[in-house]
Amino acid sequence: MSLIGHDHAWQAWRSAAQGGRMHHAWLLAGQSGIGKAQFAFAAAHELVRGEVGSPHPDIVHLARAPKDKKEADKKEAGKPFETARNIKVDQIRSMQRVLTTRPTMGDKRVIIVDPADDMERSASNALLKSLEEPPIGTYFVLVSHSPAKLLPTVRSRCRTLRFPDLTIAEMQAVLSTLAPEANGDELDAAILAGAGSPGAALRFLEFGLDEIARLMNDIAEEGDAGFVLRGQLAARVGGRPSREHLRAVLDLARSIVAGNITQAEPAAQSARIAAHEELVRLTGEMATYNYDPGLLIMEIGTLLARVGQASERANV
């Protein structure tokens, strides 16, 4: 993922690092797929003076682990694997044992939690102890798509770096490098669907969501009184989509609902805001709940249909 569009974050990070007043904990906040994790690793390598892209013993990465031994074996073999729903407290405690030793190759160590939103509550409480009493030379970088989900006490101990949505020009620059095979129409659709997130735009291209986008737009504009379009939407997504596929569909629905909020009539605007809030909730719960794909798609379709019904009434 490119780091285009994050000059302000680099300026803040480097100013702190070079000024001798480096905060021990940083919260990287912004929507998913915008490049926060890539920034975290690049900044960490810069701090420990390592080569970006190469493993470094003084950079510890905490993320959701394989859910069981079978999945762990797949990871070891370089195959796709299924992760646990949360970052577990045992992972935090294992990291804390590392903190009792000195850094391996210098005087600094970086702990990246990616994303911190995925920590179970006991893991958050355990991490809080390290944030309150960090060892000298240890720096924490918490990647967060939804900072409000974190414990207030965790947030209060971090310096927040906010990552704004990328502009259309920045999205074009990123995607021209990461998806050079996409044609102009595909790129335009992906940029619109991505809503400032290159990751979301890449998922749009990866899963070929053009037809799904058309169906969603039709439902959001016209409603779906006979449930015909919702049925077509469910059929198009399929009965066994991957979690990433479902995430891409949710991202697309959110961008469609958010697209014309400010231009809508008051009644339609309220419906769009309510639908967007519900889609944000569903997206946030994906890491915790095992949704039935068919029911989730019908729920997405129903939220879009309410937007369409409200728009239709507003135009009468």
Most confident of 89-93, 201-205, 216-220, 247-251: 89-93
- C-alpha distances (whole Å) from 10 to each of 29, 32, 57 are 14, 19, 23
Q: What is the mean pLDDT of residues 116-143?
A: 96
Amino acid at 163: F
Could you give phi then psi for residue 80, rounded to 5 degrees? -60, 140
Output the pTM of the full model: 0.82
Q: What is the mean pLDDT of residues 254-269?
A: 75
CA 148/CA 304 separation, integer angstroms: 25
* Percent of the chain that is helix, strand, coil (3-state, to 5): 55, 10, 35
Please write the tens of the pLDDT for every residue from 20-76: 789 999 999 998 899 999 999 999 999 998 888 789 999 999 999 988 888 888 888
With CA atoms as reference, report the closest residue to 168 among 192, 202, 199: 192
CA 61/CA 252 separation, integer angstroms: 29
- Which pair of structure tokens corresponds to residue 23? 């905060």
Burial letters for 205-232: b for 16+ Cβ neighbours within 10 Å, e otherwise?
bebebeebbebbebbbeebbeeeebbeb
- CB under 8 A, 24+ apart: contacts of 259-266: 259/192, 259/195, 264/311, 264/314, 265/311, 265/314, 265/315, 266/314
pLDDT at 173 exceeding the cut of 60 = yes
Domain 7-162 has CATH 3.90.79.10: no
- Which pair of structure tokens corresponds to residue 143? 């990647």
CB 194 within 8 A of CB 200: yes
Q: Where are the domains of the chain?
A: 7-162, 207-314
Averaged pLDDT of the chain:
89
pLDDT at 191 exceeding the cut of 50 = yes
Q: Which of the two residues, 302 and 283, has the higher pLDDT score?
A: 302
